Structure 1
Amino acid sequence: MERQRVSSGTEWEENVGYSRAVPAGDRVCVSGTTATDEDGQPLSGTPSEQTRVALETVADALAEAGATIEDVVRTRMYVTDADDWPEIGRAHSEFFDDVRPAATMVEVASLIDPDLCVEVEVEAVVDC
Structure 2
Amino acid sequence: MRQNISSGAPWEDQVGYCRAVRIGNTIEVSGTAPVVDGQTAGGNAYEQTKICLEIIKNAIEEAGGKIEDVIRTRMYVTDISQWVAIGKAHGEVFSQIKPATTMVEVSALIEPDMLIEIEATAIIE
TM-score for both structures, normalised by structure 1: 0.94
CA contact (8 A) 1:44 1:115 kept: no
Gaps of 5+ in 2: none
In the alignment, does 2:19 pair up with 1:29?
no
- CA RMSD in angstroms comes to 0.9
Aligned counterpart for 1:62 among listed residues 60, 63, 68: 60
CA contact (8 A) 1:33 1:119 kept: yes
CA contact (8 A) 1:20 1:61 kept: yes
Number of aligned residue pairs: give it: 125
CA contact (8 A) 2:12 2:18 kept: yes
Structure 2: distance between partners of 1:12 and 1:52: 22
Q: Which residue of 2 aligns with 1:120?
A: 118
* SS of corresponding position for 1:67: coil
With 70-79 and 10-19 compared, the bigger mean Cα shift is at 10-19
Amino acid at match of 1:95: V
Higher normalized strand content (fraction of residues): 2
With 49-58 and 10-19 compared, the bigger mean Cα shift is at 10-19
Q: What is the CA distance between 1:44 and its match in structure 2?
A: 4.3
Gaps of 5+ in 1: none
Q: Which residue of 1 aligns with 2:10?
A: 11
Amino acid at match of 1:52: K
Taking every aligned residue pair, what percent have the same amino acid on both sides? 50
Structure 1: distance between partners of 2:114 and 2:100: 23
In the alignment, does 2:91 pair up with 1:90?
no
With 70-79 and 5-14 compared, the bigger mean Cα shift is at 5-14
Amino acid at match of 1:10: A
